[in-house]
Chain A
């Protein structure tokens, strides 16, 4: 049994996955399921973003591209080519990862603000591409007929299948974050995040590591996108490539504590709850992004190391158990 499996944190992740999977089953609670499926999407996006932002120190505003492109590839394969959902999801993950590797090798030569700007450019470029690409329905997007849910046992059952698949993707994201953090690859990434030039001089193969982590951080978000848009049975460019989602992922990572696995996941859950509350409240329903912006300001000014930084400062022993 590998060492990582024996550590307590491994079981903590397993427990979180089990709670997510079982909670809505209790009493067949569909509302809870819909809230948790969104939380799982946020946890997936933020955890994978954290590989770039928290570990490697690169601010990626393009995480929504992985999500949206994954959605497009999956929905298109299901609708136009009658692929089964499983293979479509895998193709979405692998395809987007491969694209990220190729693009990454180019734009990761940029650093700091320039990299961040380039990733915003990618969001715009991909959205423009999707809006003008006829096989993907151009600006009006792709609609799925309800027949696509038949292989999963009809729409009602399909929603549960998708839910469990999403929880699996979330769980894999957490384990990926954890496994990378406790690996030699992860140590190399942390070194790059601290001082890229010094890391290269110490022998860290910086261009390859950056391209690899960028590509790895695309895989699970692309699958999550596939599941999400398959579930909606509808995808269009403005939804799929909405910069808001990228920004939210960054806010979440900062809120929880960039570079930590627990903090980012917990931050994503809290953010989803807050967002749900704001969207349904009469007073705040249009203020959700204003609140997110204010939140980011407060974090950056007063809690730069996020929730986990605050917790670790008070309970240093937690650092031995949590990652």
Chain B
């Protein structure tokens, strides 16, 4: 399998903080890669570097073999990379379907307005929002807005999807449902990189795990390997609950 995303010694500094340090890893087409690490490890910054919100200071980022280092978010979106936000960013005064139409119109397939409507409806259905399709995004619950993030990214028919804590703040039933949705998305051949704090969920979903700590890669491997890794457990010791959860998974 070829690499759809390749990070080559990527670094980003904000003032005195080295948010991401000399980071290299690959994501192969069709897999789900979990990105974990303590708070402040640089996970969301990494997403922002990959989808062009920030340009990295050093290193290169390749998407499907093409260099996208420092490219604009809209150009990267057009190439087939979509993401969700940890803090939801709905287009509040548009309906759920309209939100998804924006994704469909300006995403990988550059659909016409008419064609985008069908793509949006489909994405809305996959994310389980059909009953709220014509509701203004403003009126959705938090769980609904999380699903909207997912539906909107999906409507773009991306090749690579970056999911930033789509499970956070959901109750167990909703988490269960969302995991089902993510699995279905993968079955459609979409490659996924997922940031998540719920260990149980991410260890179950991911084919491979990359562990970040203080902006650098601490470990990489199969979920079972990573959760036994002494460095990883130590990194999580600052957070006893997570460390326990990590070992509980193994």
Instruction: Please determine whether A202 and B152 come into contact, CB atoms closer than 8 angstroms.
Output: yes
Which of these, B75, B85, B102, B156, contacts A188 with CB under 8 Å?
B102
Which of these, B83, B93, B112, contacts A201 with CB under 8 Å?
B83
Instruction: Please determine whether A202 and B92 come into contact, CB atoms closer than 8 angstroms.
Output: no
Instruction: Please determine whether A198 and B74 come into contact, CB atoms closer than 8 angstroms.
Output: no
Instruction: Please determine whether B73 and A194 come into contact, CB atoms closer than 8 angstroms.
Output: no
Ordered by A's residue number, 29 sampled pairs between the chains whose C-beta atoms are within 8 Å are A183-B113, A184-B105, A184-B116, A187-B105, A188-B102, A188-B105, A194-B92, A194-B94, A195-B89, A197-B53, A198-B85, A199-B102, A200-B72, A201-B74, A201-B77, A201-B83, A201-B89, A202-B82, A202-B102, A202-B152, A202-B156, A203-B73, A203-B105, A203-B107, A203-B156, A204-B74, A205-B72, A205-B74, A206-B74
Asked if B98 is an interface residue, CB under 8 A from chain A, the answer is: yes
Asked if A261 is an interface residue, CB under 8 A from chain B, the answer is: no
Which of these, A182, A183, A191, A203, contacts B91 with CB under 8 Å?
A191
Instruction: Please determine whether A184 and B73 come into contact, CB atoms closer than 8 angstroms.
Output: no
| Bound: A183/B85 CA distance, A | 27
Asked if B103 is an interface residue, CB under 8 A from chain A, the answer is: yes
Asked if B78 is an interface residue, CB under 8 A from chain A, the answer is: yes
Asked if B51 is an interface residue, CB under 8 A from chain A, the answer is: yes
Asked if A41 is an interface residue, CB under 8 A from chain B, the answer is: no
| Bound: A315/B44 CA distance, A | 44
Chain A neighbourhood of B116, CB < 8 A? 184
Chain A neighbourhood of B92, CB < 8 A? 194-195
> Per-residue 0/1 for A198-227: is the Cβ within 8 Å of any B Cβ (1 yes, 0 no)?
111111111000000000000000000000
**Within residues 220 to 247 of chain B, which ones have a CB less than 8 A from any CB in chain A?**
none
Chain A neighbourhood of B152, CB < 8 A? 202
| Bound: A182/B114 CA distance, A | 10
| Bound: A195/B145 CA distance, A | 15
Which of these, B102, B107, B113, contacts A191 with CB under 8 Å?
B102
Which of these, B78, B90, B113, contacts A184 with CB under 8 Å?
B113
Asked if A255 is an interface residue, CB under 8 A from chain B, the answer is: no
**Within residues 55 to 102 of chain B, which ones have a CB less than 8 A from any CB in chain A?**
72-75, 77-78, 82-83, 85, 89-94, 98, 101-102
Which of these, A190, A197, A203, contacts B106 with CB under 8 Å?
A203
Chain B neighbourhood of A199, CB < 8 A? 91, 102
| Bound: A183/B75 CA distance, A | 21
| Bound: A200/B75 CA distance, A | 9
Since A188-B102, A206-B74 are in contact, a sample of 17 more A-B pairs with Cβ atoms closer than 8 Å, ordered by chain A residue number, is A187-B102, A187-B113, A188-B106, A191-B91, A191-B102, A198-B85, A200-B73, A200-B77, A201-B51, A201-B89, A202-B77, A202-B82, A202-B102, A202-B156, A203-B103, A203-B156, A204-B102
| Bound: A138/B139 CA distance, A | 55
- A residues with a Cβ closer than 8 A to B are 182-184, 187-188, 190-191, 194-195, 197-206
Closest chain B residue to A3, Cβ basis: B114
Chain B neighbourhood of A182, CB < 8 A? 113
| Bound: A187/B113 CA distance, A | 8
Given the known interface contacts A184-B105, A184-B113, A188-B105, the answer about A201 and B91 at a Cβ–Cβ threshold of 8 Å is no
Taking each of B53, B89, B107, which has the highest tally of chain A beta carbons within 10 Å of its own beta carbon?
A: B89
| Bound: A188/B116 CA distance, A | 13
Instruction: Please determine whether A187 and B101 come into contact, CB atoms closer than 8 angstroms.
Output: yes
Which of these, B53, B75, B93, B156, contacts A194 with CB under 8 Å?
B93
> Per-residue 0/1 for B17-58: is the Cβ within 8 Å of any A Cβ (1 yes, 0 no)?
000000000000000000000000000000000010100000
**Within residues 167 to 196 of chain B, which ones have a CB less than 8 A from any CB in chain A?**
none
User: Within the complex, what minimum Cβ distance (angstroms) separates B81 from chain A?
Assistant: 10
Chain A neighbourhood of B74, CB < 8 A? 200-206
Instruction: Please determine whether B98 and A203 come into contact, CB atoms closer than 8 angstroms.
Output: no
Instruction: Please determine whether A195 and B91 come into contact, CB atoms closer than 8 angstroms.
Output: yes
User: Within the complex, what minimum Cβ distance (angstroms) separates B210 from chain A?
Assistant: 22
User: Within the complex, what minimum Cβ distance (angstroms) separates B187 from chain A?
Assistant: 24
Chain B neighbourhood of A195, CB < 8 A? 89-92
The 9 closest A-B pairs by CB, nearest first: A203-B106, A203-B77, A194-B91, A198-B89, A184-B113, A200-B73, A191-B102, A205-B74, A201-B73
Closest chain B residue to A200, Cβ basis: B73
Chain A neighbourhood of B156, CB < 8 A? 202-203
| Bound: A167/B236 CA distance, A | 71
Chain A neighbourhood of B101, CB < 8 A? 187
| Bound: A194/B74 CA distance, A | 16
User: Within the complex, what minimum Cβ distance (angstroms) separates B98 from chain A?
Assistant: 7
Chain A neighbourhood of B90, CB < 8 A? 195, 198
Given the known interface contacts A198-B85, A201-B83, the answer about A184 and B94 at a Cβ–Cβ threshold of 8 Å is no
Closest chain A residue to B105, Cβ basis: A184
User: Within the complex, what minimum Cβ distance (angstroms) separates A79 from chain B?
Assistant: 45
| Bound: A194/B94 CA distance, A | 8
| Bound: A29/B107 CA distance, A | 54
Closest chain A residue to B153, Cβ basis: A202
Instruction: Please determine whether B51 and A191 come into contact, CB atoms closer than 8 angstroms.
Output: no
Chain A neighbourhood of B83, CB < 8 A? 201
**Within residues 116 to 162 of chain B, which ones have a CB less than 8 A from any CB in chain A?**
116, 152, 156
Chain B neighbourhood of A205, CB < 8 A? 72, 74-75, 106
| Bound: A206/B72 CA distance, A | 10
User: Within the complex, what minimum Cβ distance (angstroms) separates B58 from chain A?
Assistant: 23
